[in-house]
Structure 1
Amino acid sequence: MRYNGTSSKVFLVSGMTDMRKSIDGLSLNVTEQLDMEPFNEAWFIFCNCGRDKLKILFWDTNGFWFYYSRLEKGTFKWPRPNSHGVIVISKPQLHWFLTGLPLENSKARQPLNGLEV
């Protein structure tokens, strides 16, 4: 069964990915390796073995967005691979991750919900 999630989902793909792959190759990874649908407007994030390069694949209603990031110094704080092949994170965690912070940022402000004026 394929996951048909919403755009609020961000998936870190466990393990290392061949960075020579482009949109077609990475969307095939999503379909075959993760058994998910690449057209569900979720974000799929892949990392190389050196953890200094990553690619983000995102479907936006009528086409893919494809982001590539390379660190000139240091590495991304990539979590250890798990048996499920993917780690779900929140959008704030994605921003922390991309700026070099750990996914579990204890000083982060929590979202406020149900406020009234």
Structure 2
Amino acid sequence: MIGPPAGTRIFLACGFTDMRRGMDGLAALVQQAFEQDPFTGAVYIFRGKRGRLVKCVWHDGQGLCLFAKRLERGHFPWPVTSSGTVALSTAQASMLLEGIEWRTPQRTWRPTAT
């Protein structure tokens, strides 16, 4: 997959979004609801009502890109707030797109003093 370059800002749209929207509708939502410019190169992630589908929109410098992912089992972990945005790190966004709880990740192994 061709993705955004390192250092790209990533924003999560809290609440749920109508997933019938395409890239133009989501870009308009970024401009109107979040008062941000969708053409600055930041990634904006939106989730559907059921929580099984996300769409990401970003401008790569040449045009607007749209990425969609639907989980076959489970749902994407999402903030409880119903409006606004949350800034994510690249690692948090990667965990989110894998369906992993990104807010409180747990290590599977802890180092011990010997």
Tell me the TM-score normalised to structure 1 length.
0.80
* Amino acid paired to 1:90: S
* Amino acid paired to 2:93: L
> Residue 93 of structure 2: SS of its match in structure 1?
helix
> How far apart, CA to CA, are the structure 2 residues paired with 1:106 and 1:50?
25
* Amino acid paired to 1:93: Q
- Aligned match of 2:27: 27
Cα drift, residue 106 of structure 1: 4.3
Q: Which region of structure 1 is more displaced relative to structure 2, 97-106 or 48-57? A: 97-106
> Residue 56 of structure 1: SS of its match in structure 2?
strand
Q: Which region of structure 1 is more displaced relative to structure 2, 99-108 or 41-50? A: 99-108
Aligned residues: 102
Name structure 1 gaps, 5 residues minimum: 1-6, 109-117
> How far apart, CA to CA, are the structure 2 residues paired with 1:36 and 1:80?
22
Name structure 2 gaps, 5 residues minimum: 1-6, 109-114
Cα drift, residue 82 of structure 1: 5.5
- Aligned match of 2:100: 101
Q: Percent identity?
A: 32
Cα drift, residue 107 of structure 1: 2.8
Quick check: 1:12 aligned with 2:31? no
Tell me the TM-score normalised to structure 2 length.
0.82
- Aligned match of 1:111: none
Quick check: 1:70 aligned with 2:70? yes
Please tell me whether the aligned partners of residues 16 and 82 of structure 2 are also in contact (alpha carbons under 8 angstroms).
Answer: no
